[in-house]
Amino acid sequence: MSTHNALSGLAPAKINLLLHVGPVRADGYHPLVSLAAFADVGDRVAVRRAEALSLTVEGPFAAGLEAEGDNLIIKALLALGEAAG
């Protein structure tokens, strides 16, 4: 789905064939080296215009996932909003 107000697409599942985590840097992050393959299955992600930022998690495993707080999607959207002004 793609309109002026909404976008939807598949976020393919990633399989790490190799993952090397380096030592902690001064900024608290670790350098990563990864060899990954992507599957034909994954999560369906949809975004649409709204007055406020919100996240809805649906599906068979939704009960075990948080839609706020430490959720990486929310963190990424907040960082994008901050960078975009």
| pLDDT digit string, tens, across residues 19-42 | 999 999 999 999 999 999 999 999
Q: How confident is the model at residue 3 (pLDDT cuts 50, 70, 90)?
A: low
Residues 19 and 41 in one domain: yes
Q: Do residues 44 and 66 share a domain?
A: no
More confident residue, 85 or 83: 83
Residues 12 and 45 in one domain: yes
Residue 38 and residue 16 in one domain: yes
Whole-number pLDDT of residue 65 = 81
38 CB-near residues (< 8 Å, 6+ apart)? 12, 13, 14, 15
Kindly state whether residues 37 and 11 are assigned to the same domain: yes
What is this structure's pTM?
0.61
pLDDT tens string 50-64: 888 888 888 888 888
Q: How many domains does the chain have?
A: 2
pLDDT of 76 = 87
Q: What domain range is 84 assigned to? A: 50-85
Q: Which residues contact 30 (CB under 8 A, 6 or more apart)?
A: 21, 22, 23, 24
